[in-house]
A and B are shown apart, each in its own frame.
Chain A
């Protein structure tokens, strides 16, 4: 059976990945004019971020999008990352599936098609070559090179057309690609919105974007710290499939099943190995290369019946609520902002994840639709904005299930709020190949709900206080207008002078404030009385209430 499978794979080899995707570009996410351009932005930005962060550099990206004709654009994308050594440039941009290794790591994570996919799309739609400038350090020298190349689809590699030295000032990569059949849009799914959201999810980054009209947008960074790099952690037994096991067995240097399992999976002790042997009856001293599909399936089945410690969470690096708040503040200039980061938990019993949520109210929060601001939901997975397929997403589903009226938002749709939700995980359970929506795992929905309800409550508290303040101002005006008028009439009625009434006016106002805040107005009245009659000494004592307790 395994032989048949490899034969089948041999047949596939005749069609190179590049050739396969040339015929099936929708599998790279290139469907529709707007979406295609957004995906290009996504791939290039993600690549720049990953490179810069790995080198410990705060990412700064310049993007220049020029319109040549209808649906025809020239894109120039440059970063301040470590650059790509000359020998690797065409591998990065022209070879599909550059590195494929089973990695259980939190990553912005694409299938490794990223940049080469963009070059492929450019070449397919325009026939124009890609131009890349790379500046990198070699030893302690700064080297620069400018290449012009095309992709040889049949061979799945680059075809150099031109090369010249480049006088570099600092490290980084600049790539120039031309596209047709794409379209720049300000819609929620468009490239501009993608950048805006990217900055919110990555407050440590700076992006300068010149749009086709020549307008320059500068998205400044709100945080000056390069995020801690996520560590690779061994996958948890409950998070792997039979296919994963086979893959591991093929690529391992271990000699036995048992050592393969203990070295490739977390929480896998000798005691657990004996348990697996007992349940499955498989001889775990066999060589990994001989592992059959049935055996892998049986082992995975056994995993599901066993109890394991929860997976390690050290590999998960959330954005952190302060940084989320800073990022949203920078972009949305909201009136109110709050964010929360939940503790790590697991779904399917074995995959750790963290949910982060933030909510911004007022200012530029929400989406501008015909001059009114409506609620918008920003979904992220490992800091990457998810802009498509929102309908079936766990985040959307969880937010829909919340009764927003309970949080003082009577009409959520027409409220100027931006709700931010980010899922951090070594394995985000995407629903489809486009990786644009998260599977509605019950644990994920629960966590999204909890996180969002928490920020919702904080927003509600703020809105209440704001409403009370507004009402209070209104009431004060009523009192300030009516009290003098009433006392003037009353004095005329009593045939006497209008007495000094400032204290009573102050009391009346305080009392109504207490009422607004749901306190006992009578109690407050007493307090005001005390306050007004208390001497300086009394006030001193009030500041140190402990003094009395000592007696």
Chain B
């Protein structure tokens, strides 16, 4: 098993703590210098979300909104921001987390509170973009758990060491606090993420982890932030190639693409979430044709979505454009599990080996 060096975790905590402290210092310094404190909050409007060709994911542009203490309309927002920042600093210091809902309830005791949770969610995002840090780093956790992981990897969560090969048939569940998890060691060569838990269990039963020296990740549909963070970390920290296998339809394509190139909505944290090196394994339009898979006709909404994707900068490269055109041409889609037409084992025994061979 390869040992993994402890490297970033302490830093992340310190960096976040210092960023939060810096926010307060900026304001106090301005006041000491008799200046009216102003905060620059990067704009999250659609016109300020741009696709970065070099990074291969969405980033925020350089437009800023000013929040001045001297503006009646902005002063309340500044008040809310420093309150949230203090709350987060406390979370980071005590190594605790809270959900946005919990923060909303806590805020009721603040001098400058929120009118509704929507407002507090937005101020949370304001802090994220202003400091360039993810909300998980700030201790603000999403409610939902991440994906299931099965395979030979050892993780350290606090005092507990977990081997994802010995955590039951459903594997290890990625926690929202994934950044506090250390990779202790592993004995795999790659990671295969699949859209459905059906396929996840098929692969566990067919011992795919053994056959391909792989981690199996069951995405459960659109990948949660923690899942994407996990995939990015295993790709970058452990140098493991990541393959994604979804249903052969526009929705499956896009689940893969959000893992690879991030979402527009989270442009401000894509640098922590996107895994540009991850690869889409299937099911592609070509697979549908080559493997003569059982299909369903494309619905109107599928066609519409495919046309949208064709225009999306993330799908700019030729391979994707060809796949989209091909699917529109055949007018058909196929599910991952349609390989069972050739027997339950076919997908693991035949499809994956052939595809991995072609890609590696």
Contacts and interface: CB of A to CB of B under 8 A. Distances in A.
Interface in A88-135: none
Given A493-B21, A511-B70, A482 B35 contact: no
B27 A490 contact: yes
B134 to A, nearest CB: 19
Interface string B18-43: 00110111011011101111000000
A507 B72 CA distance: 13
Contact of B79 (A475, A486, A503, A512): A486
Contacts of A501: 31
A485 interface: yes
- Chain A: interface size category: 20 to 34
Given A486-B69, A504-B31, A492 B24 contact: yes
B86 A492 contact: yes
Nearest to A506: B34
Interface residues of chain B: helix, strand, loop or mixed (majority): helix
Nearest to B34: A503
Contacts of A490: 23-24, 27-28, 37, 82
Interface in B274-303: none
Nearest to A511: B70
Contacts of B72: 475, 478-479, 512
Interface residues of B, number: 29
Contacts of A512: 70-72
B350 to A, nearest CB: 59
A507 B34 CA distance: 9
Contact of A493 (B69, B82, B112): B82
Contact of B20 (A491, A493, A508): A493
Contact of A491 (B24, B70, B79): B24
Given A483-B69, A507-B70, A511-B70, A499 B28 contact: yes
A48 B27 CA distance: 76
A525 interface: yes
A31 B27 CA distance: 78
Interface string A492-519: 1111101101011001100110000000
A493 B86 contact: yes
B229 interface: no
Given A499-B32, A501-B31, A507-B36, A489 B82 contact: yes
Contacts of A492: 24, 86
A499 B29 CA distance: 9
Interface in B58-89: 69-72, 75-76, 78-79, 82-83, 85-86, 89
A496 B25 contact: yes
A499 B79 CA distance: 17
B25 A494 contact: yes
Question: Which one of B27, B34, B35, B112 has the highest number of Cβ atoms from chain A below 10 Å of its Cβ?
Answer: B34
A226 to B, nearest CB: 55
A29 interface: no
A521 interface: yes
B111 interface: yes
Contacts of A542: none
Given A478-B75, A486-B79, A512-B70, A494 B36 contact: no
Question: Which one of A485, A494, A496, A499 has the highest number of Cβ atoms from chain B below 10 Å of its Cβ?
Answer: A494
A495 to B, nearest CB: 6
Nearest to B76: A482
A251 to B, nearest CB: 75
A508 B31 contact: no
Contacts of A322: none
A495 B69 contact: no
A487 interface: yes
Contact of A511 (B36, B78, B89, B111): B36
Interface of B: 20-21, 23-25, 27-28, 30-32, 34-37, 69-72, 75-76, 78-79, 82-83, 85-86, 89, 111-112
User: Closest 5 interchain pairs by CB?
Assistant: A493-B24, A494-B24, A490-B27, A489-B82, A494-B25
17 contacts: A479-B72, A479-B75, A486-B82, A486-B112, A487-B31, A489-B24, A490-B37, A491-B28, A494-B27, A495-B24, A496-B24, A496-B28, A504-B30, A508-B69, A508-B70, A511-B70, A525-B36
Given A493-B24, A493-B27, 7 more contacts: A486-B79, A486-B112, A489-B82, A489-B83, A489-B85, A493-B23, A508-B36
